[in-house]
Amino acid sequence: MENKITQTGTATMTIDGKSYDLPIMKGSMGAPGIDVRTLYKQTGHFTFDPGFTSTCSTESQITFIDGGEGQLLYRGYDIEQLAEQSTSLEVAYLLINGELPTKSEFETFENTITNHTMLHDKVESFFQGYRRDSHPMSMLCGTVGALSGFYHDDQHTTEDEARNVAIHRIIAKIPTLAARCYKYRVGQPHVYPQNDLSYAGNFLRMCFAVPAEPYEVNPIIERAMDKIFILHMDHEQNASTSTVRLAGSSGANPYACIAAGTACLWGPSHGGANEAALNMLKEIGTVDRIPEYIARAKDKNDPFRLMGFGHRVYKATDPRAKVMRRTTHEVLGELGITNPVLEVAMELEKIATSEEYFVKRGLYPNVDFYSGIVLSALGFPTDMFTVLFALARTTGWISQWNEMLEDPTQRIGRPRQLYSGATTRDFVPMDKR
């Protein structure tokens, strides 16, 4: 990656009466940043920012978010245009390479991905080691990490070719692994990939086909699945992507880095929110119970939060939620499904988004609020939702991992701390304590 941020000014910081100049750096869009890389050397002080609310960890040219405007761009293209007009593999090419592919570039890319979809036969033994009722995210974390045992190449940090093979392999194999997690959980035989199907179509077949019957991919479901993949594919420096970058900054195996990102995504504050949101909507059950849950969400003595609401960056609207809301109505409408949970969701959105508590804090439905409803309409059980998120996000993770390794300013990630524990003291032998 060619570094493009430039200095546009200077910020002066005064500590104990002494002034220090720090460069102000600006990218092509978004807020500028104060470059504090020399701060400790110059002043002997650290910055303190738990949760990284004001800290840029890197320069990046992949994804841009404007939380105030509700804008999400992949390589400059609006997420809504990509979700409506593109396909997941085309968007994957864009994220990795920076430009939309020509027809022949796309055909080569699609062919490469298609030729890597099968898993090594020994991967199956990792699945056999799991209990049948293991959470599919546990299986995904373990088996993605296990791929590092099959494909280890020290040159992935230094050689473009080795890195490209790793990128193509993980994008190709993640749907096969995710589908295997589902099949193992429900006790059905593994369905091998079928390479004449689309990325989404192949995944749906690996999940829902059984040997006893023919399976035809439903184009409505296929398109909705593909849109969900696009919407979840990247989201700049969120918790799981930062985890992948941090793991990768030490030069670790790429599959191990993706396993680290998968683990981070699992939590209910991040990718686990879609599962939590649907469970919450089911628990509310009927529209008349909504006020009770709104009151709980506002009560500071109650740990309950409206799941699928709020976002660290989006404070006006989550543009992914807009597409997801539309897709939910399309899928349910076209498949002729009536779901009482959708009614609760729409009413909850209406009430919550007009309440002062939520408006004041910029709390609006995020992508996960509606995705659970559409994913269950597609036939997935709730514990698979985060797996689907991880499948899609793997393309973003590996693009960010690649960008990090190509960045000449990249160093091992190593935050500092403000220590507030015991000060220096002498060891006391056990019989004197």
Active site residues: 311, 368
- DSSP of 258-295, one letter per residue? HHHHHHHHTSTTTTTHHHHHHHHHHHH-SGGGHHHHHH
**CB 119, CB 173: distance < 8 Å:** yes
Cβ proximity to ligand CMC: between 244 and 306 the closer is: 306
259: contact with ligand CMC by CB under 6 A? no
373: contact with ligand CMC by CB under 6 A? no
Cβ proximity to ligand CMC: between 141 and 191 the closer is: 141
| SS3 labels along 166-211 | HHHHHHHHHHHHHHHHHHHHHCCCCCCCCCCCCHHHHHHHHHHCCC
With both helix axes pointing from N to C terminus, report the angle between 385-406 and 239-248 in degrees, rounded to the nearest 10: 40
CB under 6 A: which stretch of 1-9, 302-310, 393-401, 413-421 binds ligand CMC?
Answer: 302-310
Candidate residues 363, 373, 374, 390; the one interacting with ligand CMC per rule CB under 6 A: 363
* Stretch 311-330 residues interacting with ligand CMC (CB under 6 A): 311-312
49: contact with ligand CMC by CB under 6 A? no
Cβ proximity to ligand CMC: between 90 and 234 the closer is: 234
Which 3 state secondary structure label does DSSP give 355?
Answer: coil
Cβ proximity to ligand CMC: between 167 and 306 the closer is: 306
Cβ proximity to ligand CMC: between 193 and 372 the closer is: 372
116: contact with ligand CMC by CB under 6 A? no
* Stretch 213-242 residues interacting with ligand CMC (CB under 6 A): 235, 238
CB of residue 404 vs ligand CMC: minimum separation in angstroms?
20
Residues in the chain, overall count: 433
Q: Measured at CB, which residue is nearest to ligand CMC?
A: 310
Distance (Å, whole) CA 277 – CA 372: 7
Candidate residues 233, 297, 345, 374; the one interacting with ligand CMC per rule CB under 6 A: 297
Site string for ligand CMC, 261-280 (x = CB under 6 A): --------xxx-x-------
158: contact with ligand CMC by CB under 6 A? no
Candidate residues 165, 367, 374, 392; the one interacting with ligand CMC per rule CB under 6 A: 367
CA angle 201, 204, 209 (to 5 degrees): 115
Q: Which two tokens stand for residue 259?
A: 């396993």
307: contact with ligand CMC by CB under 6 A? yes
366: contact with ligand CMC by CB under 6 A? yes
**CB 314, CB 79: distance < 8 Å:** no
Distant-in-sequence, close-in-space partners of 244: CB < 8 Å, separation ≥ 6:
257, 258, 260, 261, 397, 398, 400, 401
Distance (Å, whole) CA 50 – CA 32: 20
List residues near ligand CMC by CB under 6 A. 235, 238, 269-271, 273, 297, 305-312, 361, 363, 366-368
